[in-house]
Amino acid sequence: MVATPAVTQPVATPREIPIRKIGTDDLRASLREGYTDFMAKRGDLFFAGLIYPLVGIVAAVGALGNDMLPLLFPIAAGLSLLGPLTCTGFYELARRREAGLESRWRHFFDVRKSEALDGIMGVAVILIGIFIAWVFTAALIYGVFFGTEASTSITTFLTQLLTTPKGWAMMIIGNLIGLGFALIAMAVSVIALPLLVDKDVDAGEAMRASIRAVRENFGVMMRWGLMVAALLVIGAIPLFVGLAAVLPILGYATWHLYTRVVDRSGLPNQPIH
């Protein structure tokens, strides 16, 4: 018997999506264009921006009502890790606007009909996992510093936090660790989600491109992250209501940042429904 040689299938090489170098001017331009888009559509889309504030308010009330005061800030801050998910509708609207198509509030939800929905959900699972890991980590940090001590009121908790060495140490360590979680969330999603909405790529390709974009533009992307964090804090101060404007602006601005970072010319488009 003569052995038949096995036929080996060629291994597909993962597609490398071209990434451009960007500068601080690109960040400013992206924010300006995001603001312009928001002002053009603010009447139709104001309600969509309220989704995030409502989630924040529910989280705050839930924390206060369940003796979870130490986790109130980590939960509120952690919601920003999920912010890119709420912006997928704004990416769709920006894409339609770029193509010269009608972009009304109902198109915000067209993402649910996208062929990229599975990929978007894959990124969503990762972001939700990061959020849950952050909340558990925050609880662990509190336990290390304060054990099982329960705060009887928000005044007591703030006094603990702001006037004791343990409170100061906990804030410093918690914020540094939180920054690490935020960096991971940004790296896997900042470019991945608008790329999935716009182009026919899979979740793995999109997340690899996003991580490379952050790595190759590290300083600039860190400035972007700080700008986003500052705007979210400003929007959150008046009981999260300011986020009704901040979130759409950031959603549009992230789209414009994506168009500057990714060379889209050779990538197939997702169909527009």
Quick: pLDDT tens for 78-137.
878 888 888 898 999 999 989 888 877 778 888 888 888 899 999 999 999 999 999 999
Q: Is 189 or 104 the better-scoring residue by pLDDT?
A: 189
In this model, does residue 249 exceed pLDDT 80?
yes
Helix (H) or strand (E) holding 25: helix 24-49
Please give the full DSSP string across 104-141, using - where no structure is assigned.
-GGGGGGGGGSTTHHHHHHHHHHHHHHHHHHHHHHHHH
First to last CA, the chain: 58
Quick: pLDDT tens for 49-88.
666 666 666 666 566 665 677 887 888 788 788 888 888 9
Mutual angle of helices 24-49 and 88-98, in 10-degree steps: 110
With contact defined as beta carbons under 8 Å apart, do 220 and 23 qualify?
Answer: yes
Quick: pLDDT tens for 26-49.
999 999 999 999 988 765 566 566
**Cα–Cα dist 124/109, whole Å:** 16
Q: Is 246 or 57 the better-scoring residue by pLDDT?
A: 246
**Residue in the structure block whose two tokens are 């300083």:** 219
**Cα–Cα dist 136/130, whole Å:** 10
Most confident of 7-21, 111-125, 137-151, 188-202: 188-202
Q: What is the mean pLDDT of the chain?
A: 85
What pTM was computed for the model? 0.84
